[in-house]
Amino acid sequence: MQYSLVVGGELVPGARSLDVVNPATGDVFATCACADAEQVNAAIAAAGSAFSAWAASPASERSRMLEALADRIAAEAEELARLLVSEQGKPFGDAMGEIMASAAMLRYFAGFQLEDEVVCDDETARIVIHRAPLGVVAIITPWNSPVLMLANKIAPALRAGNTVVCKPAASTPLTTLAIGAMCAEIFPAGVVNVVTDANDLGDRLTANPAIAKISFTGSTATGCKVMANAAQRITPLTLELGGNDAAIVLDDADIEAVAPQILGAAMRNAGQVCLATKRAYVPEDLYDAMCDKLAELAGEIVVGNGLEQGVSMGPIQNRTQYEKVLGFLDIAKEDGRVIAGGEAIDGPGNFIAPTVVRDIASDSRLVTEEQFGPILPVISYSDIEDVIAQVNGSPYGLGGSIWCGDVSRGLAVAARIETGIVWVNKYMDLRFDVPIGGVKSSGVGVEMGREGILSYTRRTVINSQPASAA
């Protein structure tokens, strides 16, 4: 299969090529088109040319095309899921879940009613908040969930009447290019454009004066560079960045019920989830029992190629991140006691055993930094006030969870945690109609829900004098 750029409704060969590595084998399994600066500029120009007509098109037509894309993705879900496993590494079942969730995301925003809001309508004034699309939106997606992150950006952007230029991560371009080819058949020319790079053209996209909004999901370090480019022209942006989410276990929690959920939240996608649990705080009276249970459960996880039956955790997606996680394993051995995993798995691919670390201080880098890998440090505590202070002392503020018997106690603690979202006795419950976004170094703005789609619009307050009062 050819994996081409999508520029102005056409499938375009790249100015160069990009090898794509299967992280489960370490081998190059596909080659795709890779853009140069001129092609990025051409994609932006194509999106700009298409904007006026797309923005003026009936909302029902935009919705119909989003539904058509959802139908196409669902119809080819198995093929897309296999491709996603090959380039990203996650187990096939998880990949299918991502593909189908992406189709559902498109359907949700296709059905969204974006209407004017009447603030006042009386004898003194009629005041209406009108929403209009912004223009060309630059969409930059990460390598951990490339399809879902694409869907939750293009769906609200297109529904609101914007055109888009999408750039996937250099190590996971294929599923995005495949969906881009579908878009070229469904949407008018220039409405959806897809370009790839070798991690060298992001500035060309985010600093272009024709870009009306930037939506980026990725690391905090890269997010800072994106924000600096946006600042040059006060370009609106949404940033969903890194996190160091804490699981706080209260002293009335049921270990047998809670441990599987905490470990699942930490090891999902081999820990490569921004909202994954990356540290757990456990009362000293429950500490030994919790650590024993987490270690037992970690040993039951089946690690391997995501296309093999029975595998529940795949590899680290790329070699750079793999080396970083190996460094965190060294820290785990120096600063704590490894009770499960702790080693890379012999053989080809970027596999690391699910790792649980106990007896570790709260100021260890394994606790204070984002690992983005299958490592869970477990910290003992005796004072909940100290835990809240430690959690809130992090520069990150994306998500977190509270685990307890008495829900009212959990809610009281949750209200004091400085993050964008806190779950109580659940985790990763993400609804399309609920906004999600971080605070502090975890991001700016929100995605999903009404707030998410409104971020792709320009607000105009229309304040008129009633005819009777003239």
Q: Residue type at 114?
A: L
Q: What are the b/e assignments for 130-152, b being 16+ CB within 10 Å? A: ebebbbbbbbbbbbbbbbbbbbb
Please tell me the distance from the alpha carbon of residue 197 to that of residue 167, in angstroms, as a whole number.
8
Q: What are the b/e assignments for 201-235, b being 16+ CB within 10 Å? A: bbebbbbbeebbbbbbbbebebbebbbebbeeeeb
**Which is the catalytic residue, given 240, 369, 370, 447?**
240
For residue 138, what are the CA distances in angstroms to 203, 254, 293?
11, 46, 45
Please tell me the distance from the alpha carbon of residue 16 to that of residue 35, in angstroms, as a whole number.
6
For residue 251, what are the CA distances in angstroms to 103, 150, 357, 387?
41, 40, 20, 13
Task: Extract the tokens encoding 439.
Answer: 């605070």
Helices (H) and strands (E) in the chain, counts: 15, 20
Question: Dihedral through CA 70, CA 71, CA 76, CA 81, nearest 10?
Answer: 30
Task: Extract the tokens encoding 23.
Answer: 């992280």
Please tell me the distance from the alpha carbon of residue 72 to that of residue 94, in angstroms, as a whole number.
19
Cα torsion 340, 314, 265, 146: sign: positive
**Cα–chain center distance at 79:** 22
Q: Residue type at 419?
A: T
In the residue annotation, 240 being an active-site residue is answered as yes
Question: Dihedral through CA 336, CA 340, CA 344, CA 348, nearest 10?
Answer: -170
In the residue annotation, 120 being an active-site residue is answered as no
**Which is the catalytic residue, given 32, 34, 183, 274?**
274
Q: What are φ and ψ of residue 443, in 5° steps?
A: 145, 180
As annotated, the active-site residues are 240, 274
